[in-house]
Amino acid sequence: MEKPSTVEQVDLTPTLALGLGLPISQNSVGRLIQPVVDEASLRDQLRFLHLNGHQLSYLLKDSMPAYEKEEGYEQFRVAEKSHGNWVKLVVEGNTSEVLTNMGKKVFKQYLEALRAMSEALSKQLGKYDIYSMVVGMVLVFQLLLLLLLAMPEALSSASEVDLPVSSALLSLPFYLLCLLLSSVHVLVCTSAESSCYFCSLSWGLVFGAVALSSALLCILVSMAARRGGKPPGKSPSHGGVSGGWSLSELDILLLAGTAGHTLSLSASSFVEEEHQVWYFLLNTLCLVVFQDVCRKYFRERRANFGSLEDEDYLLPSNEGDAVASPLADLGVTDAGSEKWLALATPPLTLACCRLLRSLNQTGVQWAHLPDLGHWLNSFEHKMVLSLFAALSLALIYFLVQRRCSWVSKIALALGLLGVYSYRAAVGNVVFPWQRGGGNMSKGTVEARFVYVFVLGILFTGSKDLLRSQVITADARLKSRGLWEIYSGMVLLVALLFRAHNLPVLCCCLLVQTLMAQFIWKKLHYDAAQTTIMHYWFGQAFFYFQGNSNSIATVDISVGFVGLESYIEAPAFFLTALSTYAGPLLWAAHLVCYLSSEKRSVTVHSAPSHQ
């Protein structure tokens, strides 16, 4: 039995392309697998080999300056001339044995030329830029070590990391390292035989990278010395817990889930169905949080039945309403109602997640199946979609406006009305007084109407934020400024989302409000736990929008909202914002929440110092 020959993976591309009658990929370095075309006539085989050689020769020209001196290129030119002579004889009707022998000779010449050109290209493209790779690896490992050294302080209750930046930049070792690394760079770039990417950069960028690496090294040495000089009995945590760290069930879930998800990305199947991993992690998180809520309100309450201290803490604060509770708007001020609302928050979050899973099918395996979004977008159910969109916009206003100024509240209300008007103009929804389809348009005027209010809200929030940072150190003003910037983002996302995706935004805000009021604050979760939960929810809502890890699910139509024609910069910004709205909104809410919690701690601790 004849031993099968080895086939290179890169050879599949030209073989499949020629077999299917398609052009060969421009950057393919493979060559035709000859046994595949054995059944074809000699003329067709020579034609296939010539097409493959033509593609490789052009790739050789683009990759090598001295391509004409390459052996494979010279062989291809000789084979091409012989092929031309053979074709002339065929056209003249020559059928002698000389023609057959000549054709076989041309066939062998083509095979040798293809082999030589493919090997030359593989060697050329297989050369790695070692110096640039080493520089990148050094920077990455320095940042990784910095994160590891800062992790004990970041995971503490205070969640504050002290980086000795100023002392590192003003130290003598920093300048000596800059001089040393600059000398190494000059030495490597002047003695390098081949061009390297890092050597081709401007001196400004190179010096920035050198200064960054030197500063990181000085900071790492300083942090390691400071941590090594601590007494062994002291805990790295600022929370006052002695004897090191103690991990709760929630801590174990957050760390194991994040690490497990990262490891799962090494398998392509998990990447294609990544949304399933986040759905599972989010459901498990809700169950663990529900366990914490039950433990707080039942077991600990019975153990401290006579104490009113915790009961008082559960009531919303009446002073400095920068962290205003939505319960105050509803008239719910007793601890019993808060307890049952806290117990209902995890199941309600699970219900929202289950509803959103049915709204948009994503991934690979079930993406072709009809979902609730398809049902809502059908013409027969336009009235149902209109009702859903109106209710979602009303609830969005109720959840967002509670911490805005009166000017921003009015702008937000008018902006949300503009969002509905825009969707009605493009034909997604209808007004109650409309009969039939109505006149459809691009909705440019309505979208620009919303943009005006978005810019107004963002300007108001930015003004308050700058005043709190520059003019007066007012934590309440800073918290309100951050929230108004967040409100402007919500209004812009509401405009960009399709009508059937407005419930996704509504559920996002609802879960944020419930978790902030009844879970993170009442269960005293620290900044690290809250941050990881925000990250999990943000990733899950990325897939709730209908996105996937395929670029085919990106909605490029949002790049034209409010524009008469395509303009690259705004279109790119709007498309990116719409695609990553879930993670961005959860990240912005995290900033607002941590800012309000810091102010709340300051307000509660102020009377004790009087």
Calpha distance 76→568 (Å, rounded)? 44
- Residue 324 has what pLDDT? 45
How would you label 270-287 residue by residue, b for 16+ Cβ within 10 Å and e otherwise? eebbbbbbbbebbeebbe
Calpha distance 175→197 (Å, rounded)? 25
Calpha distance 342→517 (Å, rounded)? 8
3-state secondary structure 396-435: HHHHHHHHCCHHHHHHHHHHHHHHHHHHHHCCCCCCCCCC
Q: How confident is the model at residue 400 (pLDDT cuts 50, 70, 90)?
A: very high
Q: Which of 8, 22, 20 is nearest to 115 (CA)?
A: 8
Token pair for residue 473?
A: 């150190």
Q: What one-character DSSP code corresponds to residue 381?
A: G
How distant, in Å, are the alpha carbons of 254, 256, 258, 282 from that of 251? 5, 8, 11, 14
Averaged pLDDT for residues 292-303: 76
385: left (phi over 0), alpha (psi -120 to 50) or beta: alpha
Q: What is the mean pLDDT of the chain?
A: 84
| pLDDT reading at 498 higher than 50 | yes
Least confident of 109-113, 304-308, 466-470, 551-555: 304-308
Token pair for residue 251?
A: 């801590």
- Residue 579 has what pLDDT? 94
Token pair for residue 590?
A: 């995290």
- Residue 479 has what pLDDT? 87
Calpha distance 458→471 (Å, rounded)? 19
Are the beta carbons of 72 and 116 closer than 8 angstroms? Answer: yes
Are the beta carbons of 468 and 598 closer than 8 angstroms? Answer: no
- Residue 269 has what pLDDT? 79
DSSP H helical segments within 128-202, as ranges?
Answer: 130-154, 165-169, 172-191, 197-200
DSSP H helical segments within 64-129, as ranges?
Answer: 71-91, 97-125
Are the beta carbons of 395 and 351 closer than 8 angstroms? Answer: no
Least confident of 193-197, 357-361, 582-586: 193-197
| pLDDT reading at 161 higher than 70 | yes
Q: How confident is the model at residue 570 (pLDDT cuts 50, 70, 90)?
A: very high
First to last CA, the chain: 95
Boundaries of every domain in the chain: 9-126, 128-149+163-188+199-223, 272-305+335-603
pTM assigned to the model: 0.70
| pLDDT reading at 307 higher than 90 | no
The predicted-structure confidence for 118-158, as pLDDT tens digits, reads as follows 888 888 776 777 888 999 999 999 999 998 888 777 666 66
